[in-house]
Amino acid sequence: MKGKSPDQNQMNLLQNSLKDMLNPKEELYLLTEKMDWDYFEEAFGFYYIDFGRPAKPIRLMVSLLILKQLHNISDEVVVRHWRQNPYWQYFSGMDVFQWEFPCTPSDLTHFRNRIGKKGAEKILEHSIKLHGEDALESEVLVDSTVQEKNITFPTDVKLYRKIINKSRKIAKQASVDLRQSYVRVEKELLLLQRFRHHPRNKKKALAAQRKLRTIAGRLIRELERKLDKQALEKYVRFFTTANKVMGQQRGDREKVYSLHEPEVYCISKGKEAKKYEFGTKASICMTKNSGIIVGAMNIHNQYDGHSLPKVLSQVAELTGQNPKAAIVDRGYRGRKQIEQTSIIGPTSGKGKSNYERQKARKRFRRRAGIEPVIGHLKSDHRMLRNYPKGTAGDDINILLSSAAFNYKKMLRKLRSFLILINYGLKNSLDHLFSSYWIIWKPLKPEILWQMRTS
C-alpha cells in the first residue's frame, strides 16, 4: 500500500516546525523548495497496490537515495545521519524534527529493486529538467569508462577456496554428511601460496593449487550425488557457476571472475596504473558548455561506437530533443552520422582553413572536460566501487550517480548566488533574479520575499 507523506500544513503544538527553525538561505533548503516532489509521486505511484501495510512515503525514499549518492555514503550511514540532520529531514518532507530512524537500510535496497532501471532514469530526468534551458544544448560530449564491481582481484586459488567454503555451507544447511570436510588440508594448502612467485616456492604453490582444484571438484560432485531434487534446484545457480569455473582455461572467453557476480568481465583499457579492471563498461553523455549529465547507461563489453545509438536515444528520451552533434574521442571512430546527430571525432587538418582548424581544436579541448567529470562521479558519487548486486545494480548505480552530480551542480549554483547576496549586492537583486531566473522561478514568493528583506 502506498505510504502517505506527512501533512506540511498541520500544526504541531509540542514541537517547532522545521521550516521556521532552519536557515532559508541554506542551499539544501532552497533545493527542497525548488524540486517538484509531485513528479516522483506520479512516476512511482503505480508500483504500489491499494491494500496491505502502508509503505514508507515515496518522497522519503527518493530523498534518501539522492542524499546517499550525493554524499557518497552507504545505506546504513545515510539512515543514521538522517536522524541527526534537520536539513536532510526537511528535504525528505518532514514537518518537525524526528528522533527515530526513517527506515531500515534494507528498505532502500527493496525500493531500488522496486523502481528498477526505469525508476532511476526518472530521477536522472528530474535532475536534468531542474537545470532548465542549460540542459538543452545542441552539442554533447560522450565518453566511456569502467564501473568496477565490488570484488577482489580474481585468482584461481581464491575461486577454488570460495567453492570449497560454499560447498561446506550448503552441506550444513541441507544436513548432508560429507565424506571429508578438508578444513585442515585447505589451511595447509593455502599456507603454501605465500610468496608463490619466488623461485623456491613456485613448484609447491602450483601443486597446492592443483590440489585445491581437486578438492573443490570432489565436493561439488559429492553434493550433486547426495542432494535431493528440490535442493539441487535451489542451488542450481551455484553449481552452474562452479562447474564453469572448474572447466575454464586461461585463454577462454567469458570467464567467471567472481562466484557472487558471475556477470563481471575483465576490461583492459591500456592504463599504466591499472592494467585490468573488473566490472562493466559505462557511457556518460554531458552538455558541451554547461556540463550537465544528460545520459548515462551501461554498455556492457562492446565497441564504443556500437553503443552510440542507444546512448543518443536515451539523451533524446530524457531531454526531449536530439543533439545536433556528439563530440567523441578516437575510441568511437567509424561512425559519422546517427539519425539527426553528427558524430565529430579528431581528424587531421588537411584541406581545412586556419579558422576551421582552430575551431576544431577548441572543440576537442572542451571534449577533454568530460574526463574530470567521470573522475568526480567515481570519487564523489559512488561509481568507484559498484556495490548493488547484479546487472540491474550496475544500471541503477550509474544513473543515480549521474543524478547526484546534477543535483550537486544545482547546489553549487544556489551557493554561488547566495555568496553574491552576502557580498552586498542586495540593491541589484532584480537584475540577479532575471539572470538566474531558471534557479529562482520555482521558489515560493514568501521564500523570495524573506531573502530580499533579510
Going from N- to C-terminal start, the domains of the chain cover 1-103, 134-151+266-380, 156-256
Beta strands in 153-298 (DSSP E): 265-267, 277-287, 293-298
Element (H, E) at 142: strand 139-148
> Between 272 and 237, where is the model more confident?
237
* 384 pLDDT tier (thresholds 50, 70, 90): very high
Could you read off the pLDDT of 74-107 as tens digits, one per residue? 999 999 999 999 999 999 999 999 999 999 999 9
Q: How far is 296 from 374, CA to CA, in rounded Å? A: 11
Could you read off the pLDDT of 311-328 as tens digits, one per residue? 999 999 999 999 999 999
Q: How far is 124 from 409, CA to CA, in rounded Å? A: 13
Enter the pTM of the model: 0.87
Average pLDDT over residues 51-65: 90
* 437 pLDDT tier (thresholds 50, 70, 90): very low
What pLDDT score was predicted for residue 357? 82
Question: What is the three-class DSSP state of 266?
Answer: strand
Report the mean per-residue pLDDT for the chain.
Answer: 88
Could you read off the pLDDT of 104-115 as tens digits, one per residue? 999 999 999 999
Q: Is the pLDDT of residue 234 over 80?
A: yes
Closest C-alpha among 275, 267, 317 to residue 145: 267
Rg of the chain on CA atoms, in Å: 27
> Between 52 and 105, where is the model more confident?
105
What pLDDT score was predicted for residue 1? 72
* 349 pLDDT tier (thresholds 50, 70, 90): low
* 250 pLDDT tier (thresholds 50, 70, 90): confident
What pLDDT score was predicted for residue 377? 95
Q: Is the pLDDT of residue 370 over 70?
A: yes
Beta strands in 273-395 (DSSP E): 277-287, 293-298, 325-327, 337-338, 341-344
* 13 pLDDT tier (thresholds 50, 70, 90): low
What pLDDT score was predicted for residue 359? 81
Q: Which CATH number fits domain 134-151+266-380: 2.40.40, 3.30.420, 3.10.50, 1.10.10?
A: 3.30.420
Question: What is the three-class DSSP state of 192?
Answer: coil
Q: How far is 257 from 155, CA to CA, in rounded Å? A: 8
Q: Three cell numbers at 432?
A: 540577479
* CA 115 from centre of chain: 14
Average pLDDT over residues 172-182: 93
Do the beta carbons of residue 297 and residue 395 sit within 8 Å? Answer: yes
AA identity, residue 33: E
Q: How far is 43 from 111, CA to CA, in rounded Å? A: 13
Q: How far is 299 from 297, CA to CA, in rounded Å? A: 6
Indicate the DSSP class of residue 3.
P
Average pLDDT over residues 182-187: 95
> Between 24 and 420, where is the model more confident?
24
Alpha helices in 130-201 (DSSP H): 156-173, 183-191
